[in-house]
Amino acid sequence: MKILHVYRTCYPETKGGLEQAIRYICKGSTDNGYKNTILTLGDEDKEYEFEGTRIIVVKKQWEVSSNGFSLKLINKFRTLSQEHDVIHYQYPWPTGDLLSLFAAKKPTLVSYQSDIVKQKLLKLIYRPLELIFLSKVGRIVASSPQYAASSINLQQFSEKVDVIPLGIDESTYPEVTQEKLEEWRATVGEGFFLFVGVLRYYKGLQYLLEAAKISGLPVVIAGDGPEKGALKQYIQENNLANVKMVGFIDEDDKVALHRLSKAFVFPSHLRSEAFGISLVEAQLFSKPIISCDIGTGSSFVNMHDVTGITVEAANPHALSEAMCLLHKDKDLTDRLGSSARQRFEEYFTSKRYTDNYIKLYQSLV
């Protein structure tokens, strides 16, 4: 069976959580005899193979609100859609919705990652195309029961919604050396509260900084993004010596920081955060999680008083109290961390993730 994946980026072109998720679907299904092609946009036209997947990059001509496009994409997509058995889209990506109008008549599905939250004006303009796309696609995959139940779009098309939680492949994470651990221990210490991710507006990191100010507990923020300047300014203005921003890090550095940390903090406060693959990574490393209950997949991954603590969104005092609780109670921290690892093994392995998609592909064909 041949699967065509369509999204604005992919691994290894960029290395975010969704790119990894697409990678794991391709890698796992390739191991089961499937043929995968990814059609994406980039800085130049190129084609190559990665982990058995054919990757076709079309040069982006313009971009509006992170939505890139190229006229050459239409003809390339039309040809590829004729050659493949199933077309797998990702939402939100309005360009993908537009491309679907030019697709050959093949079985289709879309992985619904998040509602469009911030771009309200553009959403009004885009709404007719969105409805056509979601009406035509064969199946819609939500990443958690919570998101399937709370998204207006998913409620509207509930009769064709499946739930497949995201997963990660433990074997792709490097073994950290003692030298690397010591390097980071000398830089940031250990027993800190860790955040890893892109520094975006919906991550709620301003509330984490306020919580660090209230509690005085050590916090390490790893990642880069649009909010970096504002966060650094807050740290300087409030003399937060207990907060360290370490910038973008490689995979071995990430593993080292997880090993040295006490817990993972995930203060995302808006529905733009539909799941949070970094939560699953924390569970892989047996770390308890502090997250906010925003009615999305983050509360499916992190179960309150089972794998961590969930608190009210945009509430720095609640974040601070949860941090202080884990800081003072080692037995609780250990219990939650152990349960976190068990939940990872039960729900979020790449094998379970891939197997569920393979079953869905088979049912479509």
Tens digits of residue pLDDT in 218-229: 999 999 999 999
Give the pLDDT score at 121: 66
pLDDT surpassing 90 at residue 123: no
Asked if 25 and 51 touch (Cβ cutoff 8 Å), the reply is: no
Output the six-digit token pair for 189. 């210490």
Give the pLDDT score at 357: 98
Q: Angle, to 10 degrees, between the axis of helix 205-215 and the axis of helix 228-237?
A: 20
Question: Which domains are seen in the chain, by residue range?
Answer: 2-169+349-364 (3.40.50.2000), 170-347 (3.40.50.2000)
Give the pLDDT score at 126: 85
Asked if 208 and 221 touch (Cβ cutoff 8 Å), the reply is: yes
Name which of 14-18, 146-150, 195-199 the model is least confident about.
14-18
Give the pLDDT score at 120: 65
Partners of 108 in the β-ladder = 87
Give the pLDDT score at 119: 65
Q: Of 138, 77, 73, 62, whose CA–CA distance to 107 is shortest?
A: 138
Binned at pLDDT 50, 70 and 90, residue 94 comes out as very high
- pLDDT digit string, tens, across residues 173-197: 999 999 999 999 999 999 999 999 9
Sign of the Cα pseudo-torsion (321, 117, 251, 35, in order): positive
Distance CA 322, CA 34 (A): 45
What is the CA 312 to chain-centroid distance, rounded? 21
Give the pLDDT score at 274: 87
Give the pLDDT score at 293: 94
Give the pLDDT score at 93: 94
Distance CA 360, CA 365 (A): 9
pLDDT surpassing 80 at residue 280: yes
Render 205-258 in DSSP notation, one character per residue: HHHHHHHHHHH---EEEE--STTHHHHHHHHHHTT-TTEEEEES--HHHHHHHH
Output the six-digit token pair for 117. 């939250």
Asked if 267 and 203 touch (Cβ cutoff 8 Å), the reply is: yes
